[in-house]
Amino acid sequence: MGDRQRDGFVLTQDAERLDLDRVHRWLSVESYWATGRERDAIERSIAGSRPYAVHLDRTQVAFARAVTDGATFAWVCDVFVDEAHRGRGLGTWLVDSIVEDLTEAGVPRILLATRDAQDVYARSGFTVLDAGGRFMEIDRRPTRAAILGLS
Three-class DSSP category at 117: coil
Q: H or E segment at 145?
A: helix 144-147
**pLDDT confidence of 136, banded at 50, 70, 90?**
confident
Query: Do residues 56 and 76 touch, judged by C-beta distance below 8 A?
Result: no
Cβ neighbours of residue 96 under 8 Å, at least 6 residues apart? 124
Query: Do residues 151 and 145 touch, judged by C-beta distance below 8 A?
Result: yes
Decide: residue 139, CB within 10 A, 0-12 exposed, 13-18 middle, 19+ buried. Answer: exposed
| Cα–Cα distance, 60 to 72 (Å, whole number) | 30
**pLDDT confidence of 150, banded at 50, 70, 90?**
confident
Residue 131 backbone dihedrals phi, psi, to 5 degrees: -100, 35
* 143 compared with 70, residue with greater pLDDT: 70
Query: Do residues 52 and 10 touch, judged by C-beta distance below 8 A?
Result: no
**pLDDT confidence of 151, banded at 50, 70, 90?**
low
Q: H or E segment at 92?
A: helix 90-104
- Enumerate domains of the chain plus CATH numbers: 4-138 (3.40.630.30)
How many angstroms from the chain centroid is the CA of residue 116?
14
pLDDT in tens, 93-121: 999 999 999 999 999 999 999 988 999 99
